[in-house]
């Protein structure tokens, strides 16, 4: 504000000098000093010219700076004008906006680089009036589906009509489904399609993600193999290391000329330890064989109510021994197409887990319920135990993972494999402070 007033003062002084110069020149003409009057007019002309270029430069700098800001063009360099204190605030604003734009451009480059290196197809659409344009298409999508980086939705429809039709059918709303797409006129591949819509600063955006089922499965298989190998190597080392150590000790003992009673006792204890570790290793291998050689289910129609009653009857001695109350809420006789022996094994495994979970609890209760929904039967087994600790939630279905000393760690893994072989799934959650295992099977 002070600098603006100072500018006005300088302009006002120039005007005063020009007016005074004109008055003096006219005065010299009146008194007959012709040459002095002409010289005065020349000085007035020079002052007027200087004022014109001063104002012109001020307006040009102002217009150029404002125009650059409005057009997001920060390529100009105003450093040579910084001596002009009139526009210090304007130049500061320009530099601030320039730095912010540079930061934004850097972020955009980084984000695009990240998106282009993700092995998932990504498209971001932006709504413009009544049509959609391609705001962003990452390199993986373009190369994997052999689609050029077009700018309009209608051009993309010509390249991938099956994908675009699904999106248009849902009117650009949230989607989570699988889709089969043909790439380069080859056989169709299955992809997971996820789409969501969002509004940012009044702009409507639609984000589409495409993941190859094969890539997803391969990643999960790789993670599963890594976890499995960790468990197997852990179990093998736990048995082999002590056995090797005992063998070395026995070798030292038998090399002696004579054996004392104490040495014989050491040999006896060592052999017993090796037998125990060998038995453990044998059980471990048998457990692995059970998982690896699970037979295909022989499905036939079965009544769920009878199946649950059979499982409860088998487990009744353990329920009575541990003073556990069992609530059977399966009242409707649902018919399901299953291998009864395998599903009974799953339910018994879950009931056994519940018994172990209730070992140190005052209130011991197990409930079994079932409901039909969306052409599926959902069987729930819940207990009033302490629940599953968050640290191990992601590990409970891993082969050979157990928190019990005498446990083999294959019960839940075997149950999961059986249910998946039936085309269903098994999950766990916490409801009202109770641990709930839920089995989902296709209704007959």
Q: Which of 82-86, 218-222, 247-251, 432-436 shows the lowest mean pLDDT across its residues?
A: 82-86
Identify the residue whose tokens are 């039709």.
Answer: 165
Pairing of strands 121-128, 131-137: antiparallel
The whole-number average pLDDT for the span 362-375 is 85
Q: Which pLDDT value is given to residue 225? A: 64
Say whether pLDDT at 149 is over 50.
yes
Identify the residue whose tokens are 């004579």.
Answer: 258
**DSSP E strand stretches across 138-294:** 175-182, 188-200, 203-212
Identify the residue whose tokens are 């690896």.
Answer: 292
Q: DSSP for 411-425?
A: HHHHHHHHHHHTT-E
Tell me the pLDDT band of 144, cut-offs 50, 70 and 90.
confident
CA 418 to chain CA centroid, Å, is: 29
Contact 371, 438 (CB under 8 A): no
Average pLDDT, the chain: 76
CATH class for the domain made up of 119-213: alpha beta
Q: Which pLDDT value is given to residue 196? A: 87
Q: Where in the chain is the domain with CATH 3.30.565.10?
A: 300-442
- d(CA 212, CA 209) in angstroms, rounded, equals 10
Say whether pLDDT at 9 is over 60.
yes
Say whether pLDDT at 392 is over 70.
no
Q: Where in the chain is the domain with CATH 1.10.287?
A: 216-292
4: closest CA among 99, 87, 82, 70? Answer: 87
The whole-number average pLDDT for the span 312-329 is 85
Say whether pLDDT at 152 is over 50.
yes
CATH class for the domain made up of 300-442: alpha beta
CATH of span 216-292: 1.10.287
CA 3 to chain CA centroid, Å, is: 53
Q: Which pLDDT value is given to residue 233? A: 66
Q: Where in the chain is the domain with CATH 3.30.450.20?
A: 119-213
Q: Which pLDDT value is given to residue 404? A: 57
Q: What is the pLDDT of residues 234-265, one digit of tens each?
A: 556 666 666 777 777 777 777 776 767 777 77
Helix, strand, coil in percent for the chain, rounding step 5: 55, 20, 25
Q: Which pLDDT value is given to residue 2? A: 44
Q: With a threshold of 0.85, does the pTM exceed it? A: no
Q: Which two tokens stand for residue 26?
A: 């006219």
Q: Which pLDDT value is given to residue 201? A: 79
Most confidently modeled range among 13-22, 220-229, 238-247, 340-349: 340-349
* Bridge partners, 336 (sequence order): 302, 443
Say whether pLDDT at 306 is over 50.
yes
Q: What is the pLDDT of residues 432-442, one digit of tens each?
A: 767 788 888 87
Identify the residue whose tokens are 């295992």.
Answer: 437
CA 329 to chain CA centroid, Å, is: 38
The whole-number average pLDDT for the span 70-83 is 62
**DSSP E strand stretches across 72-217:** 121-128, 131-137, 175-182, 188-200, 203-212
Tell me the pLDDT band of 48, cut-offs 50, 70 and 90.
confident
Contact 142, 150 (CB under 8 A): no
Most confidently modeled range among 161-165, 202-206, 361-365: 202-206
């Amino acid at each position: 504000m002070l600098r603006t007033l100072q500018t006005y003062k300088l302009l006002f002084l120039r005007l005063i000098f020009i007016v005074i110069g004109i008055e003096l020149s006219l005065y010299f003409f009146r008194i007959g000093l012709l040459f002095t009057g002409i010289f005065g007019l020349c000085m007035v002309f020079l002052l007027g010219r200087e004022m014109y270029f001063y104002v012109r430069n001020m307006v040009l700098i102002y217009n150029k700076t404002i125009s650059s800001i409005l057009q997001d063009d920060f390529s100009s360099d105003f450093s040579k004008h910084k001596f002009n204190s009139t526009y210090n605030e304007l130049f500061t604003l320009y530099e601030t906006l320039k730095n912010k734009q540079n930061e934004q451009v850097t972020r955009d480059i980084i984000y695009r680089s990240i998106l282009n290196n993700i092995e998932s197809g990504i498209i971001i659409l932006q709504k413009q009036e009544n049509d959609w344009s391609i705001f962003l298409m990452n390199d993986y999508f373009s190369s994997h589906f052999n689609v050029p980086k077009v700018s309009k939705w209608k051009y993309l429809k010509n390249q991938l009509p099956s994908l675009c039709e699904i999106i248009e059918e849902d009117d650009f709303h949230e989607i989570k489904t699988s889709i089969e797409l043909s790439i380069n006129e080859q056989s169709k591949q299955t992809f997971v399609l996820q789409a969501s819509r969002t509004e940012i600063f009044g702009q409507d955006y639609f984000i589409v993600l495409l993941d190859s089922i094969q890539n997803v499965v391969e990643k999960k298989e790789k993670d599963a193999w890594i976890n499995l190998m960790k468990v197997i190597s852990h179990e093998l080392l736990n048995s082999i290391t002590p056995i090797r150590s005992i063998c070395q000790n026995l070798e030292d003992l038998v090399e002696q000329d004579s054996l004392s009673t104490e040495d014989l006792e050491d040999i006896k204890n060592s052999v017993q330890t090796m037998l125990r570790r060998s038995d453990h290793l044998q059980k471990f291998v048998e457990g692995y064989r059970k998982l690896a050689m699970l037979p295909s289910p022989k499905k036939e129609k079965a009544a769920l109510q009878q199946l649950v009653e059979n499982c409860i009857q088998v487990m009744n001695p353990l329920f009575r021994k541990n003073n556990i109350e069992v609530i059977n809420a399966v009242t409707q006789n649902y018919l399901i197409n299953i291998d009864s022996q395998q599903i009974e094994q799953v339910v018994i495994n879950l009931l056994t887990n519940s018994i172990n979970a209730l070992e140190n609890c005052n209130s011991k209760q197990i409930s079994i319920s079932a409901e039909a929904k969306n052409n599926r039967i959902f069987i729930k087994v819940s207990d009033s135990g302490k629940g599953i600790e968050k640290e191990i939630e992601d590990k409970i279905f891993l082969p050979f993972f157990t928190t019990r000393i005498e446990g083999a760690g294959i019960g839940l893994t075997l149950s999961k494999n059986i249910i998946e072989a039936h085309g269903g799934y098994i999950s766990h959650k916490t409801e009202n402070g109770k641990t709930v295992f839920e089995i989902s099977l296709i209704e007959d």
